[in-house]
Amino acid sequence: MIDNSPSKMLSDPEQLGKYLIQGVLGEGGMGVVYKGYDPQLAREVAIKTIRRSLLAGKAGKELRDRFNREAKAEGSLVHPNIVAVYEYQSNEEGTPFFVMEYVEGKCLKDYLSRGMHFNLDMSLHIINQILCALAYSHKRGVVHRDIKPANILWLEDDTIKIADFGIAKIEASEITQTGQILGTPQYASPEQALGLKTDARSDIYSTGVLFYELVSGLKPFAGNPLAEVAKLDDSHFDKLEISEPELLQLFKGIIRKSLEKDPDKRFQSADEFVKALEHLKVKAEAIKPMHGLLSSEGLLKRLLTNKWLLMTTSSFIGGGILLVTYFISEPQNEPVIETVFVESVLNGLPSTNKIKPLLKENNNSSEQRMKVSRLLRTANLHFKVGRLIAPEGSNAFHAYQLVLELDPTNETAQSAIESIQDKILTHTKQLVDRGEIERAKSQLMLAKSLFPNNHLLQSLSENIK
C-alpha cells in the first residue's frame, strides 16, 4: 500500500535521478522503498534507498557495501521468480539507490502473520517457484541467505517473486566472511546461525522452514534455532490437515530432510528438492479423484482444473466477530475460481450492505453481467481465504446468493454453494475425529441454519453429543 500522506511526502524527495517519486511502498530501519516512475521508458518502478544518516563512518561503509552487493546480486539474475533490478546509482548527495521492477503483490508475511495458512496444493505451487528461482541463482553463484515470508512476494496471477538479496553471498567475492552472523534466526540454517561457512544448502533449510509454515501456519522452531533445532517429532505434524497417511508420510519425509542439522544430510540442491516435491504432488493428484463429492462428471472435470488456495484464519475479523475457521486438507474439488488479487483481504472485504446497492442499479444485460462479475470476484475471494459462511454479511455463501438473485442459473455460484456445504461437512468430521467437539457443534449450528435441506449436515449434528 502506498503512503501518500502529507507528512510523508514533505520528508521524502520528489525525484531521484530521472525517476519521479509517486509514494512510499515500505520502509524499515535501513531505508525506504519508493514507488517511482521512469518518464523515459514510461514505466513504474520500485526504488530502494538507504537513509543518509546511516552512511557515516565505518558502519556506513559496510552498509553501503551491503547495499551495493544486493544490487549486484539481484542485477545479475534474470528469472521470472526473482524481482528484477534495472540499475544502481547515487543521487546528487551521493546517497545510493537502486531501481527495481515494480511488483503488484503482497509478501507472504502479510498473510501468515494474520493467522492464515495455505492448503498443500497452493503450498507446493509456491515452494516449487521459490526452488526454481533458487536453483537458477545457485547455479550462478548467488546464495540468498534470507529466505523468509517477508522476502517472498505473491502476485495477482499467483506468481511468486523472491526479493531482497541484501545479505546474499556471491561466491566469487570475499565480502561475506565466515563468522559474520546474518539472516533471520527463525529461518536461518544452523550453520548460518553459528556464523559458519554457508552454501546453497542453507537456502534449502530456510525453504523447508517456509514450506512447513505455509502448510501449518506455524514455525517448526519458534525460538532460538541453536537451542531448539533437532529432528522433528510426530507432534509437529499432529494437527496438519493432511489426512491420508501416505501423503502425510511423504510430507514428513520432505520436511525432515530439508531441516537436517547437518547440511550433508539435506537435499543437496534446489533441483533435488523439486524432484522430491514432484513425488508428493503426484501422490496428492492421485488422491483427489477419490474425494469427489459432486455427481456431475462434467462439473468434476472443470473443478479439478482449479485447485488453488484455501487460506484459513483464526483471527478476529471486524467488530469482534469470530471468523469460523476451516482448515481443509487436500483440495476437495473446488469451484471454478478466477485468480483474484488478495490484497483486499488485508484492507477489509465488502460487506453485504455494500454489495446490495448493486442489485438496484440499471438492470440491462450488460450492466447485469458487470454486477455478476463483480459479485463473483468478491465471492471467490471470500472462498479463497476460507470465509465460507462467516462472518455474517461478509462471506462466500452470501455473496454467491446475491449472484443467484441476479442470475438464478449461474453455474459457478450454484457449484460453489454445493462445494461450501461439502467442505463444511468434511471439516466438521475432521474436527470430531480430533476430539474438537465444541468447534464441530458451533460450525454445524451455523451451517444447519443456512442449509436446512442438507440431510448429511442434519444427520451429523444428531450424531454429535
For CA atoms 100, 101, 103, 107, give the dihedral sign.
negative
Grid coordinates given for 443? 460450525
CA 85-200-193 angle, to 5 degrees, is 100
The amino acid at residue 408 is P
Helical H runs in 32-187?
57-75, 108-112, 120-139
Count of CB atoms situated within 10 Å of the CB of 105:
21
CA-atom Rg of the chain in angstroms: 24
Could you write out the DSSP letters of every residue in 218-272? S-SS-S-HHHH-----GGGGTT-S---HHHHHHHHHHHHHHT-SSGGGS-SSHHH
Q: Which region, left, alpha or beta, applies to residue 348 given φ > 0 means left and ψ of -120 to 50 means alpha? A: left
The yes-or-no answer on residue 146 being catalytic is yes
CA within 13 Å, CB half, 276: 23
Of 345, 371, 383, which is closest to residue 119 (Cα–Cα)? 383
- CA 199 – CA 36 distance, rounded (Å): 35
Residue 259 neighbours by CB under 8 Å, 6+ apart:
205, 208, 209, 212, 220, 229, 232, 266
Residues in the chain: 465
- H helices within 324-436, ranges in order? 343-347, 352-355, 365-384, 396-406, 411-433
First to last CA, the chain: 48
Residues 6+ apart with CB under 8 A from 64: 50, 55, 96
Residues 46/33, Cβ–Cβ less than 8 Å: yes
Cell (9 digits) for 66: 551491503
Find all residues with CB under 8 Å of 40, minimum gap 6, and list them. 18
The C-alpha cell of 197 is what? 561457512
Angle made by CA atoms 60, 66, 67, in degrees to the nearest 5: 90
Of 121, 146, 407, 422, which is the active-site residue? 146
- Residues with catalytic annotation? 146
